[in-house]
Amino acid sequence: MEERRRRRLAKITKMSKYNDLMTQSDKDFITRIQVSQLVTQDPYAEDFYAQVFGAIHRSRMGQMENDPTVVNFGNSGGVGVGLPPGHRGAGRRENALNRMQSQVERIVRNSKNREESSQCLSTVHLQGALGKVSGRSYKAAPRQLLQVDSAQPSSISSREAREGAAKEAAKQGREALADAAEAELIRAQPLTRRQVLVALERLYDAVLRVEQLRREQPPQENPEAFSKWSEKYTILVDQLWADSKIMAPLETSNPHPFVSLIGPVKGKRLLPRMLRHVDQKRLNLWFTLLVACYSQLDVVRDAHLLDQVEATPEKQEAEAQNDVFFATVIPAGMNLVRTAPLRFVTGMLGLLLESGSIVIIARARAGLGLLTVLLSRVATIKQLPPTDMEAPATHELDQWQIMFDHLCQFLFGNLLSLFPSTRMAHLSRLAVDLADQSVWQFLAALALCGSNEQQQRLVTELREKVLENVVSATKGWVSDESERQAKLDNVNLFLHALGLDSSQITV
């Protein structure tokens, strides 16, 4: 017995040196599992961001489009094989690609054979007759947990079938009532955070489907295929437009459902991708709703947080929201206003004035940005020759002047409060100039659109602010040359609109 025990221990000791090691068959088995999960009929739909990242990387590396970064197998699908090789030789890479291609082709072929055999046996086994089946993966053929032999009596009688149909109808009815109740709730109060996030996920899915279909656009030389594609594309865009809640009435809630959707950062970033697929009429509707609900935006409602001294989490969140807003929403509005006629700009300014909080809007960075865009467009339109097709009519100019006079009546007397440096005495000297720059830009646009009398009132109200900057720059009350130049540039933004320059001011 002792001898047997020693032999057994010796055998175990000899075998233990191979512990935690994989044989070649084990490696091949794991590789087949990994590669099978990479096979897809549409790499852009299954792994959109990886494919876009790879395309960007290949363009930066100067790689050609036909480089083997994706192995395709005709109608069987394809698999990504990574980024361009570094110091490896071409022969080794080609051998690896050939081996992977052969493996994937064998996997796809075996998977098809299993599916065909499963379909042939459908007369023998009622697949999923007693409910849903559980799959091994989201791509492989599902493994049936329940199988019912057709030779046996049917497990589902006609009475049970009717009962199941009745239960299903009752379930759908309850869901319809729940949807109606939810819609009534939405009409009564703003969207909750959970409702906003769920709606954004649906919007992202809809945008991805539209973008994927856009990439599959057939050539117009094939009228039949292009007509089918255009019909499907129109349906998806209409659904995307409906999910954005832009057409909800203004009285729906406060804030408006659309304003709630662009509250999170991901909502603001999704907006340009969504607007890329809508026509000009819908773009006008979107911008009109945005302007009408501008005082409800978080970047306007929480603008006072930027004036805080302490760097609180709320202030950091407000700064991040403003940065994203100026990177996404403001450029989308600028692209629309850049070609808008004067009557459209007049209507947008009228909506802002109707809100009754134009001064609060003007104190926010986002409000100043919108007002500057509108006034700059008007200044450009007024410079058009009368023979130009886009030149406004006389009555359009009169309507604009009425709205502009109302704007000046609201702002005159509050212009100094627009400067962040006036509201925040704790700012450093360089930060003051950076924060005030957007205000000087707005004042320059205001001066360009104003009459002589309005320009005189501007100069009178801003005289002390202008002299403060000029004196600080000329007397050397600055820390360095960059601060001196920033002060002069800010003042000249305003003075150049009046035909003046800071060098003409004597101190």
Check: CB of residue 318 under 8 Å from CB of residue 305.
yes
Read off φ and ψ for residue 220, nearest 5 degrees. Answer: -70, -10
Per-residue model confidence (pLDDT) at position 480: 79
Structure confidence by residue, pLDDT tens digits, 338-347: 999 999 999 9
Give me 208's structure tokens: 């991805």
Read off φ and ψ for residue 79, nearest 5 degrees. Answer: -150, 135
Per-residue model confidence (pLDDT) at position 50: 72
Q: State the Cα–Cα distance between residues 501 and 117, nearest whole angstrom.
A: 85
Non-local CB neighbours of 123 within 8 Å, separated by 6+ positions: 150
DSSP bridge pairs for 78: 40, 72
The DSSP element (H or E) to which 70 belongs, if any, is strand 70-72
Q: State the Cα–Cα distance between residues 180 and 174, nearest whole angstrom.
A: 10
Structure confidence by residue, pLDDT tens digits, 101-134: 666 667 666 766 665 665 554 444 444 444 444 4
Query: Whole-prediction pTM value?
Result: 0.66
Check: CB of residue 415 under 8 Å from CB of residue 461.
yes
Report CA 369 to chain centroid distance, whole Å. 20
CA angle 26, 31, 34 (to 5 degrees): 130
Show the low-confidence residues of the chain (pLDDT under 50): 64-69, 71-77, 81-89, 93, 121-159, 161-162, 166, 169, 176-177, 180-188
Per-residue model confidence (pLDDT) at position 115: 57
Give me 4's structure tokens: 């047997």
CA angle 65, 66, 72 (to 5 degrees): 115
DSSP bridge pairs for 72: 78
Q: State the Cα–Cα distance between residues 502 and 490, nearest whole angstrom.
A: 10
CA angle 190, 193, 198 (to 5 degrees): 105
The DSSP element (H or E) to which 72 belongs, if any, is strand 70-72
The H-assigned helical ranges of 312-451 are 313-337, 342-354, 358-363, 365-382, 394-411, 420-423, 429-449
Q: Which of 379, 353, 350 is nearest to 442 (CA)?
A: 379
Query: 324-355 burial, b if ≥16 CB within 10 A, otherwise e?
Result: bbbebbbebbeebbeebebebbbbbbbbbbeb
